[in-house]
Structure 1
């Protein structure tokens, strides 16, 4: 009887241990999955809500224009030692709320080698990002400029008329759209390219 009772008890204990181990593994795997998903989910949250000054991406122009103007200022920056001149073609515009407008930013590579960059952006005040609708934009697209090369980059946007219904924003008269270009890593280091060219010249001379 003792052995008979002891064996089921051990089986139950082993079974319970397996269940606990499975739960722990599932929890650990879930935490890893959440960590990998955190960044894209946060970006999606920002795009949907405009949180942190993230603008909205739309596919069509505004169909409603208010008899009320707002001023949009344009800001441009570079970071990470990117050797570019980067600026808006105009510093600000005054526009009817809901009107679709086009502006442009200008970039020029002041270095003697090809360089690549990508722009991030934000809107101030941050809450206005949910009502800043961009139809066309160069943001988050890799841009490559040859030595001395330049590029005009259009931005087509409008301010959602619903912005006047938001108590915190109804008295906002100015919105700032800011872009920052940062460098992208080159496919191959300049030193490696120079060594390769020197090796080729050596082989030709031999």
Structure 2
């Protein structure tokens, strides 16, 4: 009888501990699931994984190669009622040269609407070597009816790209943006800078018909 009296409380305490551990583990898994998307986005931006453009830690590369590379620009919309397009379809720059390109967004709707852009590059292997210095991506932007906004992107291609066997003969990289709709008050509209990079100029190879959304 005494043995049973001692054992039952011990089992009850043990069951309580196990239940608490399970609840904590389950809660942790839910937290990890919610954190997975932003953490994955941060990982992609830091590493260029999956064709995501790498976030630059400095404005200029350590050297500029005497070799041209053409950057093509693509624009798409996914539900936002904007005319969203690159100002120039492509530019040609030196590998390692900091360059600036421009996108344009016009709200074609009868009231203010908001959007946010995501981006990647093709080929995907070039992602870690395409460094963005300034970008409008992941920025909540609100436009009034008929308003047009200039959206610059400043970037350079890491000279180390020529050391990658699969990319050593690469002559063209495509930078693609997709604009998604968001709900946002117009009073919260951020200011997007369109100031050019000081001391640097771009060589625009040609301007063709703009890409629509």
**Offset at residue 175 of structure 1 (A):** 0.8
Q: Which residue of the partner structure matches residue 83 of structure 2?
A: 85
Match of 1:158 among 156, 159, 162: 156
- Cα offsets for 1:55-95 (capped at 9, x unmatched): 12224222311122211100011121x33222111111221
Q: Say whether the 8 Å CA contact 2:85–2:103 is kept in structure 1.
A: yes
Q: Which moved more, 1:109-118 or 1:147-156?
A: 109-118
Q: Say whether the 8 Å CA contact 2:122–2:173 is kept in structure 1.
A: yes
Alignment of 1:91-170 (within 5 A): 91-170=89-168
* Partner-residue secondary structure (3-state), 2:176: strand
Gaps in structure 1 of 5+ consecutive residues: 189-206
Runs of 4+ that moved beyond 3 A = none
Structure with the larger helix share: 1
Q: What is the aligned length?
A: 185
Q: Which residue of the partner structure matches residue 193 of structure 1?
A: none
Q: Which moved more, 1:28-37 or 1:165-174?
A: 165-174
**Offset at residue 187 of structure 1 (A):** 4.5
Q: Which residue of the partner structure matches residue 178 of structure 2?
A: 180
RMSD between superposed Cα atoms in Å:
1.8
Alignment of 1:21-36 (within 5 A): 21-36=19-34
Q: Say whether the 8 Å CA contact 2:87–2:104 is kept in structure 1.
A: yes
Match of 2:42 among 38, 41, 44: 44
Q: Distance in 1 between matches of 2:160 and 2:69?
A: 13
**Offset at residue 16 of structure 1 (A):** 2.1
Q: Say whether the 8 Å CA contact 2:142–2:184 is kept in structure 1.
A: no
Structure having the higher Rg: 1
Q: Which moved more, 1:128-137 or 1:141-150?
A: 141-150
